[in-house]
Homo-oligomer: A and B are copies of this chain.
Amino acid sequence: MSQSPLSPVRDLERLNPDIDRIHELAESLLPVYAQIELGEALPDPEQNQALVALIAILHELHPADMAVVLESLPLQERVLVWKLGAPEEDGEVLLEVSEPVRETLIEAMDKAELLAAVDDLDADELAELAPDLPNQVVYEALSTRDEEERAQVAAAMSFADDQVGAIMDFELVSIRADVSCEVVLRYLRRFESLPDHTDKIFVVDDDDILQGVLPIRKLLVVDPDTQVADIMVDDVVVFRPEDDVEEAAQAFERYDLVTAPVVDANKKLIGRLTVDEMVDVIREESEADMLNMAGLQEEEDLFAPVMDSVKNRWMWLAINLCTAFVASRVIGAFEGSIEKIVALAALMPIVAGIGGNSGNQTITMIVRAMAMGQMTGNQAMHLLRKEEGVALVNGLIWGSVMGVVAWLLYGSLGIGLVMVAAMTLNLLLAATVGVLIPVAMDKMGRDPALGSSVLITAVTDSGGFLIFLGLATIFLL
Contacts and interface: CB of A to CB of B under 8 A. Distances in A.
A295 interface: yes
A316 B361 contact: yes
Contacts of A144: none
A368 B5 contact: no
A197 B19 CA distance: 33
A413 interface: no
A163 to B, nearest CB: 12
Contacts of A276: 253, 256
A368 B302 CA distance: 10
A374 to B, nearest CB: 4
Contacts of A9: 210, 236, 238, 267
Interface in A315-364: 316-318, 320-321, 323-325, 327-329, 331-332, 335, 338-339, 342-343, 345-350, 352-354, 356-358, 360-361, 363-364
Contacts of A212: 6
A316 B3 contact: no
Interface string A390-405: 1001100110011001
A16 interface: yes
A383 to B, nearest CB: 7
A360 B221 contact: no
Nearest to A235: B8
A303 interface: yes
Given A20-B377, A398-B317, A295 B386 contact: no
Interface of A is mostly: helix
A345 B338 contact: yes
A152 interface: no
A55 interface: no
A255 to B, nearest CB: 6
A285 to B, nearest CB: 8
A23 interface: yes
Contacts of A235: 8, 10
Interface in A271-329: 275-276, 278-280, 282-283, 286-287, 289-291, 293-296, 300, 302-304, 306-307, 309-310, 313-314, 316-318, 320-321, 323-325, 327-329
A394 B332 CA distance: 25
A321 B350 contact: yes
A50 interface: no
Contact of A453 (B11, B327, B360): B360
A286 B280 contact: no
Nearest to A402: B321
Contacts of A65: 254
A1 B19 CA distance: 60
A102 interface: no
Interface stretch (A79-87, A116-124, A185-193): A185-193
Contacts of A374: 68, 71-72, 302
A411 interface: no
A252 B267 contact: no
B365 A300 contact: yes
A345 to B, nearest CB: 4
A170 interface: no
A252 B62 CA distance: 13
A310 B189 contact: no
Contact of A72 (B185, B316, B346, B376): B376
19 contacts: A8-B234, A12-B244, A64-B255, A64-B256, A189-B220, A189-B222, A196-B256, A198-B216, A216-B216, A256-B276, A275-B279, A279-B279, A282-B283, A302-B379, A320-B353, A320-B354, A324-B354, A338-B342, A339-B342
Question: Which 4 A-B residue pairs are closest in the complex by CB-CB distance?
Answer: A286-B286, A64-B254, A294-B364, A256-B276
Given A9-B238, A192-B221, A282-B283, 15 more contacts: A3-B177, A6-B209, A11-B238, A65-B254, A72-B374, A72-B379, A189-B222, A189-B223, A197-B199, A256-B276, A296-B364, A302-B374, A310-B390, A323-B353, A331-B346
